[in-house]
Chain A
Amino acid sequence: MTPVQRPVSPAERRVSMALLALLPLIALAVYLKGQRYDPATFSLDPAFLDEPGIGAAGLLRLDDLAAAVADAAWQADGGVEHFTADTLYEKIDGRADIYLANGVRTLQFVSFTDGQSFIDIFLYDMTTPEQASAMLAVERPPDAPAGDLGGDSYRADASRFFREGRYYVQVIASESSDRLAAVGLRLAQTVAARVRAGSPPVPMDSR
Chain B
Amino acid sequence: MTDDTADRREFLKQVSRTGLALAGASLGAWWLHNRPTAVEATPVTLPRYDVLLGAGDPRLAIAHGTSVDTMVRAAVEALGGMSRFVVRGDTVLIKPNVAFDRPPALASTTHPDILRAVIRLCREAGARVLVADNPINSPEGAFHRSGIKAAAEEEGAVVRYPRPGMFETVRLGGVVLETWPVFYEPLREATKVIGIAPTKDHNLCGASLTMKNWYGLLGGARNLLHQKIDDVIADLASLVRPTLVFLDATRMLMTNGPTGGRLSDVVAGDTIVCGVDQVAVDAYGATRLGRDPQDLGYLRHAQARGLGALRWQSLNPRELTV
B136 at the interface (CB under 8 A from A): yes
Partner of A144, one of B136, B137, B264: B264
- A93 vs B258: C-alpha distance in the bound complex, in angstroms? 8
B181 at the interface (CB under 8 A from A): no
A94 at the interface (CB under 8 A from B): yes
Task: Please tell me if the beta carbons of A174 and B203 are within 8 angstroms of each other in the complex.
Answer: no
Task: Please tell me if the beta carbons of B264 and A157 are within 8 angstroms of each other in the complex.
Answer: yes
- A194 vs B15: C-alpha distance in the bound complex, in angstroms? 65
Task: Please tell me if the beta carbons of B8 and A156 are within 8 angstroms of each other in the complex.
Answer: no
Distance (Å) between the CB of A75 and the closest chain B CB?
15
Task: Please tell me if the beta carbons of A93 and B264 are within 8 angstroms of each other in the complex.
Answer: no
Task: Please tell me if the beta carbons of B136 and A90 are within 8 angstroms of each other in the complex.
Answer: yes
Task: Please tell me if the beta carbons of B262 and A157 are within 8 angstroms of each other in the complex.
Answer: yes
A165-190 contacts to B (CB < 8 Å): 170, 172, 174-176
Task: Please tell me if the beta carbons of B103 and A98 are within 8 angstroms of each other in the complex.
Answer: no
| Chain A residues within 8 Å of chain B by Cβ, number | 30
- A60 vs B261: C-alpha distance in the bound complex, in angstroms? 20
- A9 vs B11: C-alpha distance in the bound complex, in angstroms? 11
Whether A40 touches B221, Cβ cut-off 8 Å, given contacts A98-B203, A118-B145, is yes
Contacts of A141 in B (CB 8 A): 255, 262, 264-265
- A172 vs B259: C-alpha distance in the bound complex, in angstroms? 12
B179-223 contacts to A (CB < 8 Å): 202-205, 221, 223
B256 to chain A: closest residue by CB:
A139
| Chain B residues within 8 Å of chain A by Cβ, number | 32
A61 at the interface (CB under 8 A from B): no
A12 at the interface (CB under 8 A from B): yes
B175 at the interface (CB under 8 A from A): no
A207 at the interface (CB under 8 A from B): no
A72 at the interface (CB under 8 A from B): no
- A172 vs B108: C-alpha distance in the bound complex, in angstroms? 14
Task: Please tell me if the beta carbons of B11 and A174 are within 8 angstroms of each other in the complex.
Answer: no
Whether A156 touches B262, Cβ cut-off 8 Å, given contacts A9-B8, A93-B99, is yes
- A176 vs B15: C-alpha distance in the bound complex, in angstroms? 78
Which of B103, B137, B259 has the most chain A CB within a 10 Å cutoff?
Answer: B259
B40 at the interface (CB under 8 A from A): no
Distance (Å) between the CB of B181 and the closest chain A CB?
14
A133 at the interface (CB under 8 A from B): no
Which of B3, B4, B100, B264 has the most chain A CB within a 10 Å cutoff?
Answer: B264
B229 at the interface (CB under 8 A from A): yes
Distance (Å) between the CB of B104 and the closest chain A CB?
9
> Per-residue 0/1 for B1-20: is the Cβ within 8 Å of any A Cβ (1 yes, 0 no)?
00110011001000100000
Contacts of A15 in B (CB 8 A): 15
Whether A156 touches B223, Cβ cut-off 8 Å, given contacts A94-B229, A97-B203, A118-B145, is no
A175 to chain B: closest residue by CB:
B105
A109-131 contacts to B (CB < 8 Å): 118
Distance (Å) between the CB of B149 and the closest chain A CB?
15
B55 at the interface (CB under 8 A from A): no
Contacts of B99 in A (CB 8 A): 93
- A161 vs B256: C-alpha distance in the bound complex, in angstroms? 14
A91 at the interface (CB under 8 A from B): yes
Could you show 26 A-B contacts with beta carbons less than 8 Å apart? Answer: A6-B3, A9-B8, A89-B223, A90-B136, A92-B100, A92-B136, A93-B223, A94-B204, A94-B226, A94-B258, A95-B258, A95-B259, A97-B204, A97-B226, A118-B145, A141-B262, A141-B264, A143-B264, A144-B264, A156-B263, A159-B263, A170-B261, A172-B261, A174-B145, A175-B105, A176-B263
Known pairs A6-B3, A91-B136, A156-B263 / 5 extra A-B pairs, C-beta < 8 Å: A12-B8, A93-B99, A94-B202, A172-B262, A176-B105
Question: Hey, which bits of chain B sit against chain A, CB under 8 A?
Answer: 3-4, 7-8, 11, 15, 99-100, 103, 105-106, 136-137, 145, 202-205, 221, 223, 226, 229, 255-259, 261-265
